[in-house]
């Protein structure tokens, strides 16, 4: 059975399927989760705190998913292909994750604004972690790359480098077709397509090529 915190986060995420974040009301989130509004404020502090917690959970779920896909009993190359396909397909169905990976936050999404300077730290450990901030797109890819190297027991850097290439390629499919910039925001394109068979073909080609190019790391 989910905790009150998880139920509230689930309710907030479900609200985003039909409403922009600006129209999501705390009282409605509490009601949908079956808890009191005071419980919601005890957990998150404010609507902005709820937004940070929701985005933090999406980032954590993505990194846990990367580890889960990589842990499948298959050759490392096949697992890295699976990570690329999984990343694109997840970004296709999860708008908050897509925003995390690209840095493009539309008006319908809960933009994770930093906690106010000097504000009292939350009594809830999970909320203190959320209030500390969420990873940038670069940080998220770096974390995924490093987890891949750990799961695949990288010792010489080859797996780490390959994972970085794979994640960069996957991200290129997440942002293509390139979103339009409207008033400083990235508008969602009319259609998102995972095109995962194409990713598989391209990555297979990359791994078959014996390249001596210098390693390129995430800046």
d(CA 139, CA 135): 5
pLDDT band at 207 (very low <50, low <70, confident <90, very high): low
Average the pLDDT over 171-193 and give the result: 54
Q: Tell me if 83 sits within 8 A of 70, measured CB to CB.
A: yes
pLDDT tens for each residue of 94-142 = 999 999 998 888 888 988 888 887 788 888 999 999 999 888 988 998 8
**What CA–CA distance (Å, rounded) separates 30 from 34?**
6
SS3 content of the chain, % helix, strand, coil (to 5): 60, 5, 35
- Which pLDDT does position 119 carry in this prediction? 80
- What pTM was estimated for this model as a whole? 0.79
The chain-wide mean pLDDT, for the chain, equals 80
3-state secondary structure (DSSP) of residue 128: helix
* pLDDT tens track for 35-55: 999 999 999 999 999 999 999
Q: Of all helices (H) and strands (E), which one includes residue 141?
A: helix 137-151
pLDDT > 90? residue 5: yes
The single residue listed with the structure tokens 């999404």 is 109
């Amino acid at each position: 059975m989910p905790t009150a915190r998880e139920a509230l986060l689930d309710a907030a995420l479900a609200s985003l399927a039909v409403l922009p974040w600006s129209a999501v009301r705390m009282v409605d989130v509490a009601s949908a989760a079956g808890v009191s509004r005071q419980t919601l404020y005890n957990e998150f502090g404010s609507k902005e705190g709820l937004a940070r917690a929701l985005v933090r959970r999406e980032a954590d779920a993505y990194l846990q998913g990367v580890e889960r896909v990589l842990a499948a009993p298959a050759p490392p190359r096949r697992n890295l292909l699976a990570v690329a396909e999984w990343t694109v397909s997840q970004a296709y169905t999860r708008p908050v994750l897509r925003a995390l990976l690209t840095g493009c936050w539309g008006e319908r999404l809960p933009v994770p604004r930093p906690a106010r300077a000097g504000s009292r730290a939350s009594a809830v450990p999970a909320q203190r972690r959320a209030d500390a901030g969420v990873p940038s797109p670069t940080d998220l890819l770096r974390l995924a790359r490093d987890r891949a190297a750990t799961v695949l027991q990288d010792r010489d850097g080859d797996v780490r480098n390959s994972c970085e290439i794979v994640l960069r390629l996957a991200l290129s499919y997440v942002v293509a077709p390139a979103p339009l910039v409207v008033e400083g925001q990235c508008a969602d394109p009319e259609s998102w397509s995972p095109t995962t068979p194409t990713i598989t073909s391209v990555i297979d080609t990359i791994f078959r090529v014996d390249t001596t190019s210098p390693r390129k790391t995430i800046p």
